[in-house]
């Protein structure tokens, strides 16, 4: 995939559109797999962090806030599972890391110092970095911005 760059003319209007080579390859879905399954957008990344998806699932931040207030480890586990289903290959590849990150938490052991939450967030960012251009695409949503600045995009929606 090639990124698009717009070159303005002197009046500020778009004069031409040029293709700019991307340093990260664009992944084409394997046969029988919808392309949308390997595409992950910055908008969806924001929903994983903050919530507000069509599934009405809390994001990572809200999930840990709720856990620290309630101690409901089952709800935290279920939320992380639901979030992983919206990430390409997330259930198979990312969820086991998240489960390991929260393994020591319980109703009596809360994440008051944020160590487990930070581990989950770090795993999420590293998963995108390590798999972008290999098994998934990280695409800039139309009109959106990239909250995960350490993860470059390899295309646009």
How does pLDDT run across 43-93, given as a tens digit for each residue?
Answer: 999 999 999 765 678 999 999 999 999 999 999 999 999 999 999 999 999
With pLDDT > 90 as the criterion, what percentage of the chain qualifies? 69
pLDDT at residue 18, as a whole number: 41
- C-alpha distances (whole Å) from 113 to each of 74, 118, 119, 121, 157 are 20, 9, 12, 14, 37
Instruction: Find the mean pLDDT for residues 139-151.
Output: 86
Residue 18 lies in a domain: yes
The mean pLDDT value of the chain amounts to 85
Cα distances from 153 to residues 50, 115, 156, in angstroms, run 19, 27, 8
* Token pair belonging to 44: 């969806």
For 152, residues 6+ apart whose C-beta sits below 8 A from its C-beta are: 23, 24, 132, 138, 146
Q: Does 116 fall in a domain?
A: yes
Look up residue 25 and give its two tokens. 């390859």
Q: Which domain holds residue 106?
A: 2-139
152 is a domain residue: no
Asked whether residue 119 is assigned to any structural domain, the reply reads yes
Query: Is 150 a domain residue?
Result: no
Quick check: is 83 in a domain?
A: yes
- Residue 145 is assigned to a structural domain of this protein: no
**Number of folded domains that form the chain:** 1
pLDDT score, position 54: 58
- 61 within domain boundaries: yes
């Amino acid at each position: 995939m090639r990124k698009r760059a717009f070159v303005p003319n002197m009046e500020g209007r778009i004069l031409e559109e040029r293709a700019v080579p991307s340093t990260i390859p664009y992944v084409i879905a394997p046969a029988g797999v919808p392309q949308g399954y390997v595409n992950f957008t910055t908008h969806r990344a924001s929903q994983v962090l903050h919530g507000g998806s069509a599934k009405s699932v809390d994001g990572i931040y809200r999930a840990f806030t709720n856990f620290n207030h309630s101690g409901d480890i089952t709800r935290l586990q279920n939320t992380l599972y639901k979030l992983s289903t919206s990430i390409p290959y997330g259930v198979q590849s990312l969820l086991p890391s998240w489960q390991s990150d929260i393994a020591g938490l319980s109703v009596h052991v809360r994440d008051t110092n944020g160590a487990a939450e930070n581990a989950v967030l770090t795993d999420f960012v590293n998963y995108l970095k390590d798999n972008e251009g290999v098994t998934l695409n990280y695409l800039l949503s139309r009109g959106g911005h990239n909250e995960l600045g350490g993860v470059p995009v390899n295309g646009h929606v």
